[in-house]
Chain A
Amino acid sequence: MGAREQRPGAGGRRLHAFNGGVHPEEHKSVSTSRPIQPLPLLPRYVVPMRQHIGNPAAPLVQVGDKVLKGQMIGLPEGAISVAVHAPTSGTVLAVGHRPVTHPSGLPDICVEIEADGEDRAVAMAPVDWRAMEPGALRAHLRDMGLAGLGGAVFPSHVKLDPGKERKIHTLILNGAECEPWITCDDLTMRHHAAEILAGAAVMRHALGCETVLVGIEDNKPEAQAAMRAAAEHAGYPVEVVAVPTRYPGGGGKQLAYTLTGLATPSGGLTTDVGVQVFNVGTAYALHRAVALGEPMLSRIVTVTGHVARPGNYEVRIGTPIADLLAQAGGELPEATGLIIGGPMMGFDLPETAAPVVKAVNCVIVKDRLLFPPPPAPLPCIRCGACARACPADLQPFEMYWYAKAKDLGKAQAYSLFDCIECGCCGYVCPSHIPLVGYYRFAKSEIWAREQEKAAADAARARHEFRDFRQEREKREKAEKFAAKAKETLAATTATAEPGEDPEAARKKAILAAAMEKARQAKEGVQPKNIDKLTAAQQKEIEEIEARRARAVEEKGTP
């Protein structure tokens, strides 16, 4: 099926509809009635070093260090990594493993900070991005800890460097926010439209592109109005486009297709077709990083669902989610758990002590009414509902079939890695099969196997080299010995006394030579590092000797 065209958007732009998609109940009004509320300073923050895609930051502080708000506490490591900063001033309580917001529930390395209540900040200064070298600007953004706030948390400075070969012609600001329940981008656009566009101006400059589009789903008229008003004064052309409300219309590739009709190649990035997509929240944070010199210290988080005061909160990175919920009035009775992210792609939070990180856009409190336990699954009847709902035009039931049978090669042959895990297939499945779970399992299993295979290949190579080396050493030794034997033979034959059996004389000579060699070895070779020892070292050696003696005793063999 080719590109279906849709009715033109409000700006007259021709929109392109991607195949599939679903429209679950929105539940957005639950959290849009209140403006964005700041959270008071909390006594304790836990800041994970791994908040972005790529290498985790390396901790720069030690237990007991005093830190200031905005001070870099995690150093970016490698090309794809960003810095991590202290959310407030205080003392480092610990650097170590703490529960983090991750579906596994496993702990990860964090810096725990006890706030001193003064909230003193490091000196922050704006930068003149127009005059800056592109590389310097990107380094600045990396040091400001800027990562995409849409959920993927890819380092922004990397996305702003598409490379020399690629020309970016269009910058898309993603305000679609297609997941149900989440409203943080909506509220950001309503309240910070001008700042978003100021941030986009920097992105436009860094990417060297002309066109700037803002894609907003048509269920957010207030956000559209605010963005249109701000676009008038942006100082560069901005087109605010209303896109149809259809999940996953806010997926980067889907939004790029809807707005431009350019389909991102399978396995590629939107930059392959000259489009770069940023979340509106990222543009807002980028503006603050450039115009105020403020690192990414906080983000806007939607707290919604079965909670006393649902709404959007400005939350410092590192705020424990339990504390955030308490600030939102706490869970209502009979809550059944938390979802981090939206209901279509989010995950169950195993541990509420885990902190808010840059990726957390929404916390949904579940209850039995809003999120009833899924019906018991039945076998797949190949009805194809999943294939019709799939925005990537996959055959999900085939992938499921092979993933379930752990036939990973076949699953991959059915384009498993084109799956964006949006959950449309699981949403429409009449058999209520947890399809995405199977795809995630198959993907991570394939990655793990590839790693295992690489490790096995390396081990094989090392083993083969070791065999080769041993073989060579043996051969060399044999050759040396043969040469020596020949020499000795020549010598002994020469010195053989007349009348004596030459063979016996030779043996005697060899024996003498060997004894001489052994004597030399005994005298000549001495360990070189055991003279001039300190008392402590001497003691340690004695201990080791004693232990060795014990070991010999116990084993009975020297």
Chain B
Amino acid sequence: MLSALLILGGIGLVLGGILGWAAIRFRVEDDPLVEKIDAILPQTQCGQCGFPGCKPYAEAIAKGEADINKCPPGGDDGIRRMAELLGVEPKPLGEGLAHKPKSVAVIDENTCIGCTLCIQACPVDAIVGAAKQMHTIIEAQCTGCELCLPPCPVDCISMVVIREEIDSWKWRYPVYMLKQAA
């Protein structure tokens, strides 16, 4: 009886030791969780999640303070990838949030009065202009966050949906239904 206990205990100790050594010796250096979550987020910095940017949202998710379904620009795909990363079930987009087609902001240059309010609001510095000078948006750098819309005193900024062009066109997922096959 005692010898059995000793042998099993000994084996346990030895194996435990090996496992412990292996865990240290072969540790895989990994990005911290926040970085991984931040890499999935679309970086629009739009704040629709209720946090002032993607990074703070990522930090909140990592701490377990925020749900994963608060990011409309990330789409269902983003939610799915985050669920995969965190090992939780994907869920539909949170209440009051809606997916929108990808857009960019465009300033009506005839109406702009050069107040610089939108420049201050833009989270990615995609608007150029100076006080009392007409402003314009660098389309390639606009994330479509819409943060420049509310501050504009003359409502001269509108969101324009990005149209599909030949060079951005994608082959569609071949859809056929096995269930309809006859």
Contacts and interface: CB of A to CB of B under 8 A. Distances in A.
Interface of A: 50, 100, 102-104, 106, 108, 376-379, 406, 434, 437-438, 440-441, 443-445, 448, 452, 455-460, 462-467, 527, 529, 544, 547-548, 551-552
Contact of B182 (A376, A443, A455, A457): A376
B165 A106 contact: yes
Contact of A459 (B43, B168, B169, B182): B43
A460 B43 contact: yes
B126 A462 contact: yes
B166 A106 contact: yes
A459 B154 contact: no
Among A50, A443, A445, A456: residue with most chain B CB under 10 A? A456
Given A378-B181, A463-B43, A434 B174 contact: yes
Interface string B71-99: 00000000000000000000000000000
A460 B42 CA distance: 9
B164 A444 contact: no
Contacts of B173: 406, 438, 441
A463 B181 contact: no
B157 to A, nearest CB: 13
Interface in B141-182: 141, 143, 153-155, 164-174, 176, 178, 181-182
A462 B176 contact: no
A140 to B, nearest CB: 28
8 contacts: A434-B176, A437-B174, A444-B170, A445-B170, A467-B53, A529-B132, A547-B111, A551-B155
A377 B167 CA distance: 30
B174 A466 contact: no
B49 to A, nearest CB: 14
B42 A377 contact: no
Contacts of A448: 168, 170
A329 to B, nearest CB: 31
Given A448-B168, A460-B54, A544-B154, 14 more contacts: A50-B166, A100-B166, A102-B169, A106-B165, A377-B176, A434-B174, A440-B171, A456-B41, A458-B141, A459-B43, A463-B54, A466-B123, A467-B53, A548-B153
A445 B171 CA distance: 8
A548 B178 CA distance: 60
B113 interface: yes
Given A102-B166, A463-B45, A465-B125, A441 B174 contact: yes
B113 A548 contact: yes
Nearest to B172: A441
A376 B176 CA distance: 9
Given A443-B171, A459-B143, A466-B125, A527 B154 contact: no
A459 B141 contact: yes
Contacts of A438: 173-174
Contacts of B141: 458-459, 462
A49 B53 CA distance: 41
Contact of B154 (A377, A529, A551): A551
Nearest to A530: B132
A56 to B, nearest CB: 8
Contacts of B54: 460, 463
B43 A457 contact: yes
B43 A444 contact: no
Given A456-B42, A462-B124, A463-B43, A377 B171 contact: no
Nearest to B143: A459
Given A440-B171, A460-B38, A462-B141, A376 B111 contact: no
A373 to B, nearest CB: 12
Contacts of B126: 462
Given A440-B171, A441-B171, A459 B166 contact: no
A104 B169 contact: yes
B103 interface: no
B161 to A, nearest CB: 15
A459 B44 contact: yes
Given A376-B182, A457-B43, A459-B44, A106 B125 contact: no
A103 B167 CA distance: 12
Contacts of B124: 459, 462-463, 466
Nearest to B164: A106
A527 B43 contact: no
Given A441-B171, A441-B174, A544 B166 contact: no
